[in-house]
Structure 1
Amino acid sequence: MDLNLSDEQRLLRESAERFVAESYDADHRRKMANDPLGFSPAVWKQFAELGWLALPIAEECGGLGGSAVEIGILMEAFGRGLVSEPYIASVVLGAALIERCGSMAQKQAILPKIADGSLKLALAHSERAARFDLARVATTATKTGQGWRLAGSKIAVLDGHAADEIIVSGHIHDHQGPSTRIGLFLVSATTPNVAISDYERLGGGRACNIELSDAQLPEDALLGNGHDALPAIEWAVDRAMAALGAEAVGIMQVLLDTTLEYTKIRKQFGRPLAANQVIRHRLADMAVQVDEARSMALRAALKLDADPVERARAASGAKAKIGKSARFVGEQSIQLHGGMGVTEELEVGAYFKRLVAFDTLFGGSAHHYGRHALLGRPTVPA
């Protein structure tokens, strides 16, 4: 298998890295951290002009038909700049679920707007009692004469405060009674009886909790024909984990480069820190972890079109491995910077916070080691 980047992929990487280097400096990140929105609408518009919002969307729906590998290239560049725009929530999760579950009318109405930046989506699926189990959904969607009635609570909705439409999951209760089917519903942020409380995320960006108190929705709020959406949700979350893994690799690379440069100029007892063999060994270990994490993120991206078990094992394996590597690289970077590593003068702490957030998002390493092992068990005949 040829794992070298194509000419188009190299151009995408170069343009993304150049844009991030020019647009995301320390002052911009501090400004976004104090912004109630958490990101810049002007930058989001630039994303649309560059074609990044249309990248994974199918060509027949106004997109560019890019693969998960291109998304990974883009996300690694985003990691270098600690980009806080809602790309994962709106494009990687939201657009993917519309494309997988929506009717043709819904796709044609929504996906072009995502591509041009005029519509932002978010996925509200996680619940307090679920503990990262995607199949555990307590929110209910009851069929009424006018449409649907949603009741329940959602937590940790990425960038839900900024979304124009929120994709909410709920167990379907229709004329046949309660079922095991999970449906996805489009809920406008201005829908009555929908309460959104947002908060700052560790490492930048914002998230929110959502309370649905018998929210009334029209009949066409249901995505598609009401088939069980759980397989699509698992597929979309695996896509998001692969993309977030690539972002973590970009963050780890910045920490490695920053630490390497610092140990060359920081002197102790008249010699640079990098002249110490023990320090060199630590830097080499950090470099190995970054390379291994990059390989796992690429493997997860390449396996996203495989069968569900193979795809899920690749995504969970990458999440677990990259989470462990990210914590190692972050901790070594802070330690080798000494007291400066935890000051606001340097951004080492900000990058480390984003890695800590990555390690827990969609489940930590322990959760995904367990998922990987469970999926690897041979099927026992009934």
Structure 2
Amino acid sequence: MNFQLTEERQMLQDGLRRYLADAVTPEALKADEAEGVAPELWSGLSEMGVAGALFTEEQGGFGGHGFDLMTVFEELGRAGAPAPLVELLLAGGLIAETGSETQLALVEQAVEGAVQLAFAHGEPASRFDIDRIETRAERSGEGWTLSGRKSVVVNGAQADHIVVSARTSGAPGEREGISLFVLPKGTEGVEIRDYPLSQGGHAAEIVFDGATLPEDALLGAEGQAHEAIETAQARATAALCADALGAMETARALTGDYLKTRKQFGQPIGKFQALQHRAADMLIEIEQARSAVINLCGHLEADRDTREIHVSATKHLVGKVARLVAEEAIQMHGGIGMTEEYDLGRFARRLSMLDQRFGDATYHLGRFVRLRAA
């Protein structure tokens, strides 16, 4: 496995880092908090063609491999950028993998920044199990009728199209019987409650009360969406782990700068051996997490069992390290570490929320054991 970035990825990383350093401002963060998406930030990312790195050339992009995802999302995490690119990766990936020729046009529009996408899959009783789906889709004279509820749909109220999972057969907990549908914004029978997230961006609770969709809203084969969902979530998990890695790097850098400037007993507190040891431990743990993320990104195209073992191993390790880094950074800063005016609190919240999405460290430890045993 070659750990060196290609020339194209190095250029993307450098350009994205420079852009985000200027674009992620207090004004952009306030706009994101109010609207769910910072318009100027999203427009700038679209003009740079960042979304194209998430998809292969056949899908309308120019990347699509694990290390392309790592390059993009590590920089987003490093800057703490509130951009709904994970949602584009999830929903766009599912459309690209299973969609018809007409539906594939949505991916091209999303890559250009003309439309936004979201993936409505999680439900109040599903927790982290991707096959525990209770939302139902029944055939009707006009196509399909959706009934059910989805929880914490990130970018749900802002998306122009939502990819929705629903059961067309089977019972909750079964792999078979899950189907995907493309839901346009403004569909009747859909109630959306929008709210802000603590780490940036917005999410929504969505209720389907007899929402009617045409026959061609079905995405891929009826009842056979489980494998596509699992693959898309594996890629999104790798992206989140890279995001957390970038956020940890920033938390460590902020802590290092603080240790050099904060004085006690007439000298910088960074000269105290106890704090030096704690800072060194942070660095070692972050480098271990980096190795795990690289390993996962290098195995995203492996067979299912190998890929999923790496997904759970990496998500567990990154979640554990993220918690350690956030706690150590805050403790070495003291009270200032959690104030609204200081950036560290924002990155600590980001790390906490990233751990919870797609399964926290404890969940993935158990899943890793089960996968290895199988």
TM-score (ref. length: structure 1) = 0.94
How far the C-alpha of 1:118 sits from its partner, in A, is 0.9
Of 110, 132, 154 in structure 2, the residue corresponding to residue 114 of structure 1 is 110
Q: Does residue 6 of structure 2 align to residue 43 of structure 1?
A: no
How far the C-alpha of 1:179 sits from its partner, in A, is 10
Aligned pairs for 1:74-85 within 5 A: 74-85=72-83
8 Å Cα contact 2:169/2:223 also seen in 1: no
* Distance change (3 Å), C-alpha of 1:44 and 1:27: closer
Of 239, 248, 251 in structure 2, the residue corresponding to residue 255 of structure 1 is 251
1:20 paired residue number: 20
1:76-96 per-residue CA deviation (whole Å, 9 max, x = no partner) reads: 111122111111112x10111
Letter of the 1:162 counterpart: Q
Q: Does residue 30 of structure 2 align to residue 57 of structure 1?
A: no
Letter of the 1:136 counterpart: R
1:94 paired residue number: 91
1:198 paired residue number: 194
2:131 and 2:143 mapped to 1: Cα distance?
24
2:64 paired residue number: 66
2:349 and 2:260 mapped to 1: Cα distance?
25
Letter of the 1:38 counterpart: G
How far the C-alpha of 1:59 sits from its partner, in A, is 2.0
2:323 and 2:175 mapped to 1: Cα distance?
41
User: What SS class does the counterpart of residue 96 from structure 2 fall into?
Assistant: helix
Letter of the 1:40 counterpart: A
* Distance change (3 Å), C-alpha of 1:112 and 1:31: closer
Gaps of 5+ in 1: none
2:282 and 2:58 mapped to 1: Cα distance?
43
Of 102, 105, 108 in structure 2, the residue corresponding to residue 105 of structure 1 is 102
Q: Does residue 219 of structure 2 align to residue 223 of structure 1?
A: yes
Letter of the 2:261 counterpart: I
Q: Does residue 338 of structure 2 align to residue 335 of structure 1?
A: no
Letter of the 2:91 counterpart: G
8 Å Cα contact 1:161/1:196 also seen in 2: yes
User: What SS class does the counterpart of residue 203 from structure 1 fall into?
Assistant: coil
Of 261, 270, 291 in structure 2, the residue corresponding to residue 274 of structure 1 is 270
2:130 and 2:338 mapped to 1: Cα distance?
36
Of 295, 305, 309 in structure 2, the residue corresponding to residue 309 of structure 1 is 305
Q: Does residue 322 of structure 2 align to residue 364 of structure 1?
A: no
* Distance change (3 Å), C-alpha of 1:157 and 1:288: same
Gaps of 5+ in 2: none
Residue range with higher mean Cα deviation, 49-58 or 315-324? 49-58
8 Å Cα contact 2:28/2:40 also seen in 1: no
How far the C-alpha of 1:289 sits from its partner, in A, is 1.4
1:333 and 1:29 mapped to 2: Cα distance?
22
* Distance change (3 Å), C-alpha of 1:77 and 1:65: closer
2:294 paired residue number: 298
1:44 and 1:31 mapped to 2: Cα distance?
11
8 Å Cα contact 1:143/1:173 also seen in 2: no
8 Å Cα contact 1:29/1:82 also seen in 2: no
User: What SS class does the counterpart of residue 162 from structure 2 fall into?
Assistant: strand
Residue range with higher mean Cα deviation, 292-301 or 135-144? 292-301
2:6 paired residue number: 6
Q: How many residues align?
A: 371
How far the C-alpha of 1:30 sits from its partner, in A, is 3.9
User: What SS class does the counterpart of residue 53 from structure 2 fall into?
Assistant: coil
2:226 and 2:106 mapped to 1: Cα distance?
21
8 Å Cα contact 2:179/2:221 also seen in 1: no
2:175 and 2:293 mapped to 1: Cα distance?
36
How far the C-alpha of 1:4 sits from its partner, in A, is 1.2
Counting aligned pairs with the same residue, the percent is 37
TM-score (ref. length: structure 2) = 0.96
Aligned pairs for 1:110-189 within 5 A: 110-173=106-169, 180-189=176-185
How far the C-alpha of 1:11 sits from its partner, in A, is 1.1
User: What SS class does the counterpart of residue 160 from structure 1 fall into?
Assistant: coil
How far the C-alpha of 1:173 sits from its partner, in A, is 4.7
1:77 and 1:255 mapped to 2: Cα distance?
13
1:133-191 per-residue CA deviation (whole Å, 9 max, x = no partner) reads: 101100111011210011000001111111001111011159xxx99411000111200
8 Å Cα contact 1:172/1:180 also seen in 2: no
8 Å Cα contact 1:103/1:225 also seen in 2: no
User: What SS class does the counterpart of residue 52 from structure 2 fall into?
Assistant: coil
User: What SS class does the counterpart of residue 372 from structure 1 fall into?
Assistant: helix
User: What SS class does the counterpart of residue 161 from structure 1 fall into?
Assistant: coil
* Distance change (3 Å), C-alpha of 1:60 and 1:306: closer
1:340 and 1:283 mapped to 2: Cα distance?
18
Letter of the 2:260 counterpart: K
1:23-48 per-residue CA deviation (whole Å, 9 max, x = no partner) reads: 11344324433x2x222223222222
Letter of the 1:123 counterpart: F
User: What SS class does the counterpart of residue 258 from structure 1 fall into?
Assistant: helix
Letter of the 2:224 counterpart: D
2:349 and 2:58 mapped to 1: Cα distance?
39
2:187 and 2:29 mapped to 1: Cα distance?
32
Letter of the 1:133 counterpart: D
Of 344, 351, 355 in structure 2, the residue corresponding to residue 348 of structure 1 is 344
2:253 and 2:293 mapped to 1: Cα distance?
19
8 Å Cα contact 1:94/1:123 also seen in 2: yes
8 Å Cα contact 2:168/2:223 also seen in 1: no
8 Å Cα contact 1:171/1:179 also seen in 2: no
Residue range with higher mean Cα deviation, 5-14 or 52-61? 52-61
User: What SS class does the counterpart of residue 170 from structure 1 fall into?
Assistant: strand
8 Å Cα contact 1:25/1:81 also seen in 2: no
